[in-house]
Structures are given as structure tokens and as C-alpha cells.
Amino acid sequence: MKLLLVSAVALIDTEGRILLAQRPEGKSLAGLWEFPGGKVEPGETPEACLIRELREELGIETEQSCLAPLTFASHNYDDFHLLMPLFACRRWQGIVAPQEGQRLAWVRAKDLRDYPMPPADEPLIPILRDWL
């Protein structure tokens, strides 16, 4: 089975809310909400992936020193296994704005269950709720 490495981030604002992005139409799991991030490219670290994805998807800049490893997801999908480290980030430059037409929502940890998520993301919710 193919292993897919995806890096994700819980962006946390000054009010303690977490940013979720809705998967756009045409992508697998379209309409579900997820933590921003993306596939780690060959030769790229999970942290470098997030810095690139945050720039491309949200128009913000951050640094590796602002990305704190928090937890990870390991989930079997039908045709691949997803391994997804989740980082926490409270410091970035710029204003968060969707660059790819995706919908965004700032959500309190206690309200994360109100947003339908991919199966791999769901086990991360209690960890974030306990941590924040």
C-alpha cells in the first residue's frame, strides 16, 4: 500500500481559534473541512512543506521556528495510507486570505465537531480541545 505523507497545521489566532479550510469541489473529500497543509514533496521536510503551502493557500509567511510539532494522524484509506504530522502555529506574517477559492473558518476548539472532516482529521480534535 502506498504511503502518503501530508503535513498539516493548526493555525491558532490570538483568540485561541483554529483555522479550518473547506476542500474545494473537484477534489477528493470535497466539502469537508480540514487543517491547512498539503503533500510533502520529494526532498522536502514537513516544516518546509507547511511554509510553502501557507504561502500558496493562505498568502501568509511563517518560519520553521514558529511551527511546533503537536501530534499526528495515521489512517488507512482505500488506496493509500496517510501519515500526517500536525503542527501548531501561533505566529505568522500577513493576513490569512484564501488564495485558491476555498472557504475558511476560524473555529473554537470546542466547536470543531460542528465541521465535517475527513476521517484522518477527526482523531486530532480531542487532542486540540485538550491542548487549547
Q: What is the pLDDT of residue 8?
A: 97
Q: Is 37 known as a binding-site position?
A: yes
What is the pLDDT at residue 33? 97
Give the count of domains, the chain: 1
35 annotated ligand-binding residue: yes
- Strands (DSSP E) contained in the chain are 2-11, 18-22, 33-34, 37-39, 67-76, 80-89, 104-107
pLDDT at 96: 97
Annotated binding-site residue? 23: yes
pLDDT in tens, the chain (132 residues): 999 999 999 999 999 999 999 998 888 889 999 999 999 999 999 999 999 999 999 999 999 999 999 999 999 999 999 999 999 999 999 999 999 889 999 999 999 999 999 999 999 999 999 988
Q: Which of 3, 9, 6, 5 is nearest to 124 (CA)?
A: 9
CATH number, domain at 116?
3.90.79.10
57 is in an annotated binding site: yes
Whole domain around residue 90: which residue ranges? 2-131
- Report the Cα 21 to chain-centroid distance in Å: 8
* Residue 90 known to bind ligand: no
In this prediction, residue 101 carries a pLDDT of 86
